[in-house]
Amino acid sequence: MPEADAPKIGREEVAHLARLARLALDDSELDLLAGQLDVILRAVAQISEVTDAADVPPTSHAVPLENVTRPDVVVPSLPRDQVLAGAPAAENGRFRVPQILTDEA
Amino acid sequence: MSYEKDLEEFEPVIGLETHVELGTASKMFCGCATEFGAEPNTQTCPVCLGLPGSLPVVNAKSIESAIRIGLALHCDIATWCRFARKNYFYPDMPKNFQTSQYDEPLCTDGYLDVDVDGSVVRVPIERVHLEEDTGKTLHVGGATGRIHGATHSLVDYNRAGIPLVEIVTKPVVGTGVKAAAVAKAYVAELRDVLRGLEVSDVRMEQGSLRCDVNTSLNRPGEPWGTRTETKNVNSLRSVERAVRSEVERQAALLRSGGRITQETRHFHEDTGTTSPGRSKEEATDYRYFPEPDLVPVAPDPAWVKELKEALPEAPSVARKRLVGRLGLSDLDAAAMVNAGVLDLVLATTQAGAPAAEARNWWLGHLAQSANAAGVEAGELAITPAQVARVVELVAAGDLTAGLAKQVVDGVLAGEGSPDDVIAARGLAVVKDEGALTAAVEAALAADPDAAEKVRGGKVAAVGALVGRVMKETRGQADAAAVRVLLLDKLGVSD
């Protein structure tokens, strides 16, 4: 297969990324997304060909700004009842989260 | 106990990653307070809770502090750099990523000279970068708060978003048997530098200075071995013990033909040993990318130059200057550095004690007390000013050497200031001439043989009589004065 036709991303890599992002994808979804991501990556590769040739640095920010800071001044925090109001569960003023390590560890 | 032998056979390579919580009033990307010990989740807001739609803004002071740290460590300061997202799922960060720096750290390529056994070891610094601290998790349902076996966890996000500076050394090679001492001396020196910069309160016991220690061993002439990373190393003593313990464990494993697994290990304060942490097979897959919500940081070189010129004197330089001024020898200074008491000695002299007295206390009785308690001298419950007070009382003749130790022990035991201890324990020297004379008379009457020997020229025999008087006065008399008094009474001179 010529280089240009090789998929930019495989099904296994998509499955790996899905696992890292804690997304439960079934086989048909993996196939679908692998295909879609491949199209996107090909498009980006095409742009890269042009920008690389013209020595254009990658853009990380859309606005040409630098050094946006705030002074080191304390402002009031949220009241705790509001902080915890959105939590699925709370206990003793803390967020309660499910078991972190299961028996596989 | 095999550490020294192990390092005759193997060469150690160590590396240290140190996290320092900056002492800013507000957090890294929001205005929440950073006070230690506040009620859980009372110092949080939409930004540090990662609520949708919230946007971070960088705390200007944190940038300045990180640059000053980089400058004090002789680093190059970036003229342009970005923050990056480090993506991972763990409840200590509600955003599911930590804002950090990746391939564009603020400071790179520096060093820190540390004094070990009187010689200088240059520890090369790889990078200094800015990131945010994570929340604190409390594991419930398992044994003694361990994550293993816990049924659920409770999270406090007060600490999440506090500015954190990570200082990473390059691999430190060629330290041989000094590896553990170099690691400890490096962290101690770094702590002093940070304290001098006034950028952090650097309290290891509160977690504002935390260390990860990397260790590997190789046989001479062979490539570096596989390294392990020991986490949780939260006191100077533990830094040294962690290196020793890993050297011994790895050497035993290598010698028996085993292989070192690259892994994270946990340090246990109680046993001084390490155990494997949980394996994170995806640990390196953080998918860093430039943080889109924060614009690049481009420190003005003129400002950086100003910051550099305004840096305080390095602690190592200040120490040399003071040691010279006090007339302490280099050997003394090295001994004091090793025992971690040099700054305490200097502070004691600043509180008015003569250098020799301050040195004797901190290298002698106090060093022994610290050793017996398994703590650093600086962690003892006595201040340099209190030591200076004891020295003053001895000089004034209000305390004998023996009583002074009892007073110091009282202070160490939490009985209050030296004067409190003297009052409570009734430790003042007996200056009442009448009481002393009576005790001397009683001693002479009780041991006429000794008295006769002294009269006959055997001056050494006076020791027994001095002992009687001291016993009679419960140690509160000045032994030297008692001796003079006794000889005087017996008509003998030295």
Which residues on B lie below 8 Å from A71 (Cβ)? 60-61
Q: Could you tell me which residues come within 8 angstroms of residue B432 by beta carbon, excluding any fewer than 6 positions away?
A: none
CA atoms of B268 and A32, how far apart (whole Å): 49
Verify whether the Cβ–Cβ distance B150 to A101 is below 8 Å.
Answer: yes
Is B91 a domain residue?
A: yes
Nearest to A70 among B39, B57, B279 (CB): B57
Nearest to A69 among B63, B94, B290 (CB): B63
Least confident of A65-74, B304-313, B316-325, B375-384: B316-325
Taking the CA atoms of B309, B210, B166 and B55 in sequence, report the sign of the dihedral they define: negative
The three-class DSSP label of residue B128 is strand
Of B381, B401, B425, which residue is a domain's last? B425
Verify whether the Cβ–Cβ distance B45 to A68 is below 8 Å.
Answer: no
Is B456 a domain residue?
A: yes
Determine the residue type at B184: K
pLDDT digits (tens, 9 = 90+) for B389-404: 999 999 988 888 888 9
Same-domain status, B241 and B270: yes
Same-domain status, B87 and B185: yes
Nearest to B60 among A69, A75, A94 (CB): A69
Is B382 a domain residue?
A: yes
Same-domain status, B392 and B319: yes
Same-domain status, B337 and B456: no
CA atoms of B476 and B429, how far apart (whole Å): 5
Distances (CA, A) of A45 to A16, A54, A57: 22, 14, 14
Of B425, B457, B475, which residue is a domain's last? B425
Task: Tell me what ipTM this predicted complex has.
Answer: 0.87
B440 backbone φψ class: left, alpha, beta (φ>0; ψ -120 to 50): alpha
CATH number (domain holding residue B443): 1.10.10
B58, B294 Cβ separation under 8 angstroms = yes
* Distance (Å) from the alpha carbon of B287 to chain A's nearest alpha carbon: 9
Same-domain status, B143 and B223: yes
Verify whether the Cβ–Cβ distance A78 to B62 is below 8 Å.
Answer: no
Nearest to A83 among B44, B278, B282 (CB): B44
Distance of CA A25 to the CA centre of its chain: 16
Nearest to B147 among A63, A69, A100 (CB): A100
pLDDT at residue number A64: 87
Determine the residue type at B187: V
pLDDT digits (tens, 9 = 90+) for B121-148: 999 999 999 999 999 999 888 777 777 7
Distance of CA B468 to the CA centre of its chain: 44
CB atoms within 10 A of CB B407: 27
Of B273, B308, B343, which residue is a domain's last? B308
Is B200 a domain residue?
A: yes
Is B149 a domain residue?
A: yes
Is B346 a domain residue?
A: yes
Q: Is B404 exposed, middle or buried (0-12, 13-18, 19+ CB in 10 A)?
A: buried
Given the DSSP bridges, would you call strands B228-233 and B264-268 parallel, antiparallel or unpaired?
parallel
Is B255 a domain residue?
A: yes
- Give the tokens for residue B274: 């390490």
Query: For chain B, how long is the longest CA-to-CA vector?
Result: 98
Q: Could you tell me which residues come within 8 angstroms of residue B441 by beta carbon, excluding any fewer than 6 positions away?
A: none
* Distance (Å) from the alpha carbon of A61 to chain B's nearest alpha carbon: 6
Determine the residue type at B441: E
Q: Could you tell me which residues come within 8 angstroms of residue A104 by beta carbon, excluding any fewer than 6 positions away?
A: none
Same-domain status, B391 and B266: no
Verify whether the Cβ–Cβ distance B42 to A74 is below 8 Å.
Answer: no
The total of structural domains in chain B comes to 3
* Distance (Å) from the alpha carbon of A5 to chain B's nearest alpha carbon: 26
Same-domain status, B214 and B357: no
B89, B125 Cβ separation under 8 angstroms = no
Distances (CA, A) of B186 to B18, B111, B211, B269, B342: 10, 10, 11, 20, 15
Who has greater pLDDT, B422 or B338? B422
pLDDT at residue number B453: 87
Taking the CA atoms of A56, A59, A63 and A64 in sequence, report the sign of the dihedral they define: negative
Compare all CA atoms of chain A with the CA of B65 and give the residue at the minimum distance: A72
Which residues on B lie below 8 Å from A96 (Cβ)? 152-155
- Give the tokens for residue A30: 């993996």
Verify whether the Cβ–Cβ distance B41 to A61 is below 8 Å.
Answer: no
Is B494 a domain residue?
A: no
Q: Is B163 exposed, middle or buried (0-12, 13-18, 19+ CB in 10 A)?
A: buried
CA atoms of B401 and B153, how far apart (whole Å): 54
Same-domain status, B331 and B415: yes
pLDDT digits (tens, 9 = 90+) for A61-80: 888 899 999 999 999 999 99
Tokens 């008509």 locate to B491
Provide the domain limits for residue B290. Answer: 3-308
pTM for the whole structure: 0.79
Same-domain status, B193 and B233: yes
Tokens 């330089």 locate to B317
Which residues on A lie below 8 Å from B297 (Cβ)? 66-67
Same-domain status, B192 and B47: yes
Strand partners, B124: B111
Verify whether the Cβ–Cβ distance A91 to B31 is below 8 Å.
Answer: no
Same-domain status, B195 and B340: no
How confident is the model over B374-380, as a mean pLDDT? 86
Band the pLDDT of B339: cuts 50, 70, 90.
Answer: confident
Same-domain status, B139 and B239: yes
What is the side-by-side order of every strand in the sheet holding B136-140? Answer: A90-91, A94-98, B152-156, B136-140
